[in-house]
Amino acid sequence: MVIAGSPKALTHDIYRKVGLYRQKVFVETLGWDLQTRDGMELDQFDRPDTLYMVSQDDDGFVNGCARLLPTHRPYLLGEVFPELMNGQPVPCSPDVWELSRFAAVDFNARGGSALAQFSSGIAVQLLRQAIACAAEHGAKRLITVSPIGIERLLRHTGVHAHRAGPPMIVDGHPIFACWIDVDDAA
Amino acid sequence: MLDTGYIYLTVDELCARALVHLISGVDQECGLTCAAGATATAITGYTEWVCHGERVLTLGWDWQMHAIGDAVRLQRVGPPSSNLMLQSAAGRDLGHDHTIALLNDFVDGFDWQHATLGHINARYS
């Protein structure tokens, strides 16, 4: 089950579960150097107006999440990774939303690697619903900062996407900015 | 109109560009599996190439490793990803699907395996 909404709409309990889940995925599993507080991975882009997608299993455990931000307000690519745009200006429009902190690691699933997060059915469902949610809020395109592995998911989901620029190597891993067509997918 | 960062080239212009190897890697899922003592059925990974210019052209694709006798060979699997939109000689966009088809041929037509294998060997040895 995937639910979407602002922190207020999600309830405090689910919001906290998302922060704990992101800590487990991005900090503990993937080793990203991110700020945490109270065991939760949260940053300056986790605001009252931020939209979240949260996937939960039948027992209520979070097994996927994503974050949506409009680019006419501060967002990750614009503030932290503008060089990923390959010399182009960063998007700044209510028509363009950023997808970030996408994860679909099911820690309760038997078998499979926690790092195989871009190949699961949860990932496909989460991506589709994130695109639909962005479209409902006026997005015509998404831009995302992600590991290059997300391209496999985008292809698998049948979404048209292309790179905004070359990958940048961070801690030995390539990350890049990618345009996603909302009209085709929504 | 929103500029979504495409670099527009004809196939001839693309072929005239010199691509430089950026980074290659083995899929981590395989690494974890192997580390746990299981037998991997296939070794897969990615390779990234760029061409420097006013704006950097980026091209990356996945590969699978095959053993043929004593030799190891890499084969592209899946279409390349890029910031390219290929055009006809008349300057008309060829579209997403046609661009991908031509990039498949382009990648299969040059020797990327040597540099990729060298990088993989150096990175993981």
**Chain A residues within 8 A of B32 when measuring between CB atoms:** 113, 115
Residues of A in contact with B55 (CB under 8 A): 86-88, 165
Whether residues B32 and A87 touch (CB distance < 8 A) is answered with no
Segment among A23-32, A101-110, B87-96 with least mean pLDDT = A101-110
B7, B28, B99: best mutation site toward chain A, by most A Cβ within 10 Å?
Answer: B28
The answer to whether B32 contacts A113, with C-beta atoms less than 8 Å apart, is yes
Q: Across the interface, do B60 and A86 touch by the CB < 8 Å criterion?
A: no
pLDDT-derived band at A170 (thresholds 50, 70, 90) equals confident
- Report if residue B2 sits inside a domain: no
CB B50 within 8 A of CB B58: yes
Cα angle B14, B100, A181 (rounded to 5 degrees) comes to: 115
Give the orientation angle of helix A121-136 with respect to helix A150-157, to 10 degrees. 80
- B30 has pLDDT over 50: no
Number of domain units in chain B:
1
Tokens of residue A80, six digits: 């932290």
For A35-78, the pLDDT digits (tens) are 899 999 999 999 999 999 999 999 999 999 999 999 999 999 99
Residue B11 forms part of a structural domain: yes
Alpha helices (H) in chain A, listed in sequence order: 7-10, 12-22, 76-80, 121-136, 150-157, 182-185
- This complex has an ipTM of 0.86
Q: Would you give the DSSP letter of residue B24?
A: E
Q: How many domains does chain A have?
A: 1
Q: What is the CATH number of the domain that holds B119?
A: 3.10.450.610
pLDDT by residue (tens digit) across B47-66?
Answer: 999 999 889 999 999 999 99
pLDDT tier at A117, thresholds 50, 70, 90: low
Would you place residue A121 in the very low, low, confident or very high pLDDT band (cuts 50, 70, 90)? Answer: confident
B89: closest CA of chain A, how far (Å)? 22
Q: Give A-chain residues touching B23 at CB under 8 angstroms.
A: 167, 169, 174
Q: How far apart are CA A140 and CA A125, in angstroms?
A: 19
Q: What residues in A contact B2, CB-CB < 8 Å?
A: 91, 93, 95-96, 140-141
Of B25, B33, B56, the CB nearest to A165: B56
DSSP per-residue string spanning B49-79: EEE-SSS-EEEEEEEEEEEETTEEEEEEEEE
The answer to whether residue B1 sits within a structural domain is no
Q: Kindly identify which residue of chain B lies nearest to residue A116, measuring between CA atoms.
A: B29
CATH of the domain at A65: 3.40.630.30
Range of lowest pLDDT (A65-74, A123-132, B8-17, B28-37): B28-37
Phi (first) and psi of residue A93, to 5 degrees: -160, 145
pLDDT interval class at B69 (50, 70, 90): confident
In a domain, B76, yes or no: yes
pTM for the full model? 0.88
With respect to residue B33, please indicate whether it lies within any of the assigned structural domains.
yes
Tell me, yes or no, if B38 comes closer than 8 A to chain A by beta carbon. no
Average pLDDT over residues B119-123: 92
User: How far apart are the CA of A138 and the nearest CA of chain B, in angstroms?
Assistant: 15
Residue B36 reports pLDDT greater than 70: no
Task: Please tell me which of the candidates A86, A169, A173 has its beta carbon nearest to residue B83.
Answer: A86
Q: Do B56 and A174 touch (CB under 8 A)?
A: no
- Domain hosting residue A88, numbered range: 2-185
Instruction: Report H helices in A114-170.
Output: 121-136, 150-157
Are A164 and B28 an interchain contact pair (Cβ–Cβ within 8 Å)?
no
CA–CA distance, A26 with B93 (Å, rounded to integer)? 39
How many Å separate Cα B43 from the centre of its chain? 16
Flag whether residue B54 sits within 8 Å of chain A, measured between CB atoms.
Answer: yes
User: Do residues A174 and B23 lie in contact, with contact meaning Cβ atoms separated by under 8 Å?
Assistant: yes
Q: Tell whether B111 is covered by a domain.
A: yes
Please name the member of B3, B25, B83 whose beta carbon is closest to the beta carbon of A162: B83
Boundaries of domain holding B94: 7-124
CA neighbor of A135 nearest in space, from A179, A75, A178, A185 = A185
